[in-house]
Structure 1
Amino acid sequence: MGSLVPSSTEPFSDGAVFGIFTGWKSIYEKIRRSFNDLNVVIVGAGPIGLSSAILALQTGRVSKLVIFEERQRKELVNLSYQISFDENSVNFLQSSKIDFDNIEGCWHEGCFSTRVGVYLEYIFDRLQAYRNSTVLFNTKFDRDKCKEIDNLPGRLLVLTCDGRNGQAGRILGLNDFSQQHSCGAYGAIAAVDRTEQRDVPTPEKRMHNLTFDLSAYGTYCTDNDGFPGFSLKIFGNSKHRFISLAIARCDSPVVKTLRTILDRSMMRNIFLKCFNQYKVESEPAISDSYALHHMKFSPRLFEIKLSQRCETVAYFDDCDTFVLAEGEAAMSFNFHTGLDINPAIRGLMSLSTFIEMISIAETEHSITEALIYKMKHTDSVCKELIKHGMKEYMFS
C-alpha cells in the first residue's frame, strides 16, 4: 500500500507550499462556483426572452438554461412585424456580442430596424453554440411545468418574458397588480396591412408641429391657437405600416375636439392625409377606398400611459428560487412608437449584474441586496420613460 508521506525527509520549499495552496484554492474555487451556478428558466422566446438568454449564458454562471415557448420555431422566425433598436440598445447588445452587421435589416440615424423573425432566428442560431441551453418549442408553461422546475437541484432563476398578457408571473407567485403612469401626452395610432407588398425593413419618418383644419367637420379651428402642434411618425416595414400621432398634454381646441368627439371619418381622414403627405417617397399612396376597408385606427385621441408591474422580482426561500419579470411582462406603453422594444432592452441592462449577485449570495442580506438592486433599476427605467419617453420616441 502506498504511503501518503512524502518520500523525501526534506521540508517543503516555499514554492512547493505555495503550489499546494494554489492547487487547493483552485479546486475550492471550482467546487464553490459549481455550487453557486444557476439553473435558468425563461418563459417566452420573443426578442426579450432570447436576448436575456444570451446575456445570462455569457455570465458563465449558468449551469443549465431552458426556454419554454408555446409556438413552433417556424412560426417565430416567420413573424413579419418590424422591430427597431435605438442607438443605446444597439451599443448595449453589441457589447454582448450581438452582431448587427450579420442581421438582415436597415440602419437609419443610429437605429437598426429588422423583421422580428430575422432577429429571433439569429439568436436561435447563437444559442446552438451553448450546450447547456435548450428551447422547448410548442410547450406551454403552466402549473405542472412550474412543479417540474421546482425539482431542479440548486438555485433557480425564472424570467417571465411572455408579454403583457402572460400568466407566468402570476403562476410563479409574482403579484400581478400594475400601476398606471401618465406620460403627459395624448396620442392615436393607425395600421395598414398591404398584403401585396413584401416584408422589407423601412426607415421611419417623423414630422413635428403639425396642425389640422377640422372646419369641414363643423369644428373650429384651422390652427392650435399658439399651442404646440402634433408629432407624426410613420414606421414599420413595407407590408405592415403604422402611423402614430402624439401631442404633449394641452387644452388646444383641436385636442379637445379630437379627445371628445367620436367621429371615425375625421380620424381616418387625418391619418390618410398624414400618410400620403409624409410617407417614404418610394411607397404607394393609400386611396380613400383602401383606407376605408383596410385601415385600423384609434377613433379619437387617448391619454398615453405606461403600465408598470408593482412586483417585478421576488425570492422564494423554500425552493431557493428567484422570479424576475422582463419586457412587457414588467412594463408596457398603451401607445405604439415603433421603438417599443427599447424600454425592455433597458430593463435587461441590469440582468448580468443581478445574475452575478444572486449566484454568490449566501446570506439573507446579500439576497436582499440583489433584489433591491434589480427593483431600483427597474424603477429608474420606468421613471426615465415617464419623464423622457415621449420626447425621445416621438417629439424629437
Structure 2
Amino acid sequence: MRCEADDIISTEESRMLFCQTQCQLLVTCFMLGVFIATKTVYDKFRREFSKLTVVVIGAGPIGLSSALVAAKSGRVSKIILIEENSRSELMNRSNQIAFDTRSISFLRRHGVDFDNLEGCWDNLCFFTRIGVYLDYILSVLYRDEIPVDIRLNEKFSKDLVNEIDSLPGRVLVITCDGPNGNSSRLLGLSDDAIQLPCGAYGAFASLQRDDQLSSVPKPETRAHNLKFDLTAYGAYVEDKETDPGFSVKIFGNTRNRYIALAITKCETALVKALRTILDRSLMRNIFTKCFNTYKSSEEKSASESYVLNRMTFSPRLFEIKLSQKCETVAYFDDSDMFVITEGEAARNYNFHTGKV
C-alpha cells in the first residue's frame, strides 16, 4: 500500500514539475517574442527617423555623383539639388571626363550603366563628354524612387541658407560649386584653399579644332621621357643623363584637344630655360610638335599657322600644386546640420593655363 501511495505522489510531483516547465517555456517564448517585435519596431523607427535630407550645391560631375550615391544609399529621405546653370548649359559642356577602373567599378555599383552611355573605351578606362555624363545622371535622379528636388537655374543665396536651416531633422549639405563658388562662405565655412607642392613642373595647352563638326570622345595618349632641343632659342642641355625627361598627355574630344606637360622637379639647364624664358613662340612650338607627334593616327596635323589663333597655352613652366580647402566639414548643433565642402578630388593637380 505504501509503495502505491509513493508512486502516486511521485507521479503527481512529476506532473506538477512538467507543468511548471511548460509554463516557464511559454513565458520565455512570450518574452522572446515581445523582445523581437519590440526590437523590430524600434529598428524600423530608428531607420526611418535617422534618415537625412541631403542638399547638394553644384551639378558638376562631383555634385551629381554625390547626389546619385546619396539616392542609392538607403539612408536618405530627400535630396535637394541646386545649380545656377540650366540643363541645356550643363549638357553643352564640351570638356571630356575620364573614368579609371576603380571609378567605373564604384559608379556601376550605384547604377551607372556605362555600356549605354555615349563614349569610348580604351585600356579599361571610359571617356565621354562632361555634358553627356551630367545629362545621364540627371535622368537617373529624375527616375529614382527617392524624392529629388532638382532646382536648375537657381543661384545659391542667403535665402536658401535660411531655407536649409528650417528643414526638419538632420541635414547634410555637400557644396560642389567649385573654387569660385560662394556656398561655403554663405554656410559659414572658409573658402580659403592651401596649395601643396607635388614635386613637379608642368604646362598646359588647349587647341580648338574648328574643323570638327561634333565633339566625339577620344582616348588619352601618353608618352614619357621626352627630350626637347632648344638650341635654336639659345638654350641647351649640358648633361642629358641628369634630365629625367618630360611626360606628355593628349586628351579631350575631337573638337577640344588638350596637351599637358609634366616633369619631375629638377634644375637642369632645359628646365631652367623653360621656367625663365618668356617666349610664346617657343612654348607654342613645343606643344605643336608634341601634338603632331603623339596625336591619334586619324587626326590631321596642326600647322603653325593653324594653331596661331586656335591654341591657348602656358607661357612657361609652372610648379604643379595640389589645391585643398582649409576647411572641409562643419557641424551646426542648433540646426543639426553637417556641411561638407568639395573634396580635393575635383581640384587635383591643377595646371596653370596662363590665362589667369
Query: Which category of TM-score, normalised to the shorter sequence, fits these structures?
Result: 0.7 to 0.9
Q: Say whether residues 1:23 and 2:33 are aligned partners.
A: no
The 2-side partners of 1:223 and 1:112 are apart by 40
Change (3 A) 1:62 1:99: same
**Are 2:77 and 2:146, in contact at CA under 8 Å, matched by a contact in 1?**
no
The residue matched to 1:319 in structure 2 has which SS? coil
How many angstroms does 1:164 deviate by?
Answer: 1.6
Q: Say whether residues 1:117 and 2:125 are aligned partners.
A: no
How is 1:58-97 mapped onto 2 (pairs within 5 angstroms)?
58-97=72-111
Match of 1:159 in 2: 174
Deviates more, 1:206-215 or 1:222-231: 222-231
The residue matched to 2:106 in structure 1 has which SS? helix
The residue matched to 2:66 in structure 1 has which SS? helix
How is 1:212-227 mapped onto 2 (pairs within 5 angstroms)?
212-221=228-237, 224-227=240-243
The 2-side partners of 1:329 and 1:301 are apart by 23
Match of 1:364 in 2: none
**Are 2:202 and 2:263, in contact at CA under 8 Å, matched by a contact in 1?**
yes
Match of 2:295 in 1: 279
**Are 2:52 and 2:169, in contact at CA under 8 Å, matched by a contact in 1?**
yes
One-letter amino acid of the counterpart of residue 318, structure 1:
D
**Are 2:237 and 2:268, in contact at CA under 8 Å, matched by a contact in 1?**
no
Q: Say whether residues 1:242 and 2:264 are aligned partners.
A: no
Q: Say whether residues 1:263 and 2:279 are aligned partners.
A: yes
How many angstroms does 1:196 deviate by?
Answer: 2.6
One-letter amino acid of the counterpart of residue 66, structure 1:
I
Q: Say whether residues 1:317 and 2:333 are aligned partners.
A: yes
**Are 2:324 and 2:343, in contact at CA under 8 Å, matched by a contact in 1?**
no
**Are 1:106 and 1:201, in contact at CA under 8 Å, matched by a contact in 2?**
yes
One-letter amino acid of the counterpart of residue 283, structure 1:
E
One-letter amino acid of the counterpart of residue 206, structure 1:
R
**Are 1:262 and 1:299, in contact at CA under 8 Å, matched by a contact in 2?**
yes
**Are 1:164 and 1:330, in contact at CA under 8 Å, matched by a contact in 2?**
no
Q: Say whether residues 1:56 and 2:89 are aligned partners.
A: no
Match of 1:344 in 2: none
The 1-side partners of 2:32 and 2:135 are apart by 50
Match of 2:60 in 1: 46
The 2-side partners of 1:224 and 1:244 are apart by 22
How many angstroms does 1:41 deviate by?
Answer: 0.3
The residue matched to 2:242 in structure 1 has which SS? coil
One-letter amino acid of the counterpart of residue 126, structure 2:
F
How many angstroms does 1:22 deviate by?
Answer: 2.8
Q: Say whether residues 1:303 and 2:304 are aligned partners.
A: no
How many angstroms does 1:124 deviate by?
Answer: 1.2
Change (3 A) 1:180 1:56: same
Change (3 A) 1:323 1:330: farther
Change (3 A) 1:108 1:223: farther
How is 1:357-372 mapped onto 2 (pairs within 5 angstroms)?
none
TM-score, normalised to structure 1, is 0.79
**Are 1:308 and 1:330, in contact at CA under 8 Å, matched by a contact in 2?**
no
Deviates more, 1:106-115 or 1:237-246: 106-115
Match of 2:304 in 1: 288
Structure 2 residue ranges without an equivalent (≥5)? 1-22
After superposition, give the CA deviation of every residue in 1:231-278 in whole Å (9 maximum; x if it has no partner): 111110010000011100111111000000100000001111111111
One-letter amino acid of the counterpart of residue 275, structure 2:
R
Q: Percent identity?
A: 56
The 1-side partners of 2:345 and 2:164 are apart by 20
The 2-side partners of 1:90 and 1:329 are apart by 15
One-letter amino acid of the counterpart of residue 55, structure 1:
V
The 1-side partners of 2:239 and 2:293 are apart by 18
Q: Say whether residues 1:147 and 2:181 are aligned partners.
A: no
The 1-side partners of 2:316 and 2:285 are apart by 12
Q: CA RMSD in A?
A: 2.1
One-letter amino acid of the counterpart of residue 178, structure 1:
A
2:202 to 164, 171, 187: 187
The 1-side partners of 2:183 and 2:275 are apart by 36
**Are 1:161 and 1:329, in contact at CA under 8 Å, matched by a contact in 2?**
no
The 1-side partners of 2:107 and 2:345 are apart by 20
**Are 2:325 and 2:343, in contact at CA under 8 Å, matched by a contact in 1?**
no
How many angstroms does 1:222 deviate by?
Answer: 8.3
Match of 1:377 in 2: none
After superposition, give the CA deviation of every residue in 1:61-96 in whole Å (9 maximum; x if it has no partner): 111110001011122122221100112211222222
TM-score, normalised to structure 2, is 0.87
One-letter amino acid of the counterpart of residue 205, structure 1:
T
Match of 2:14 in 1: none
The 2-side partners of 1:264 and 1:305 are apart by 23
After superposition, give the CA deviation of every residue in 1:322-365 in whole Å (9 maximum; x if it has no partner): 0001246974432289xxxxxxxxxxxxxxxxxxxxxxxxxxxx
When Rg is computed on C-alpha atoms for both structures, the one with the higher figure is 2
Q: Say whether residues 1:251 and 2:251 are aligned partners.
A: no
2:49 to 35, 46, 50: 35
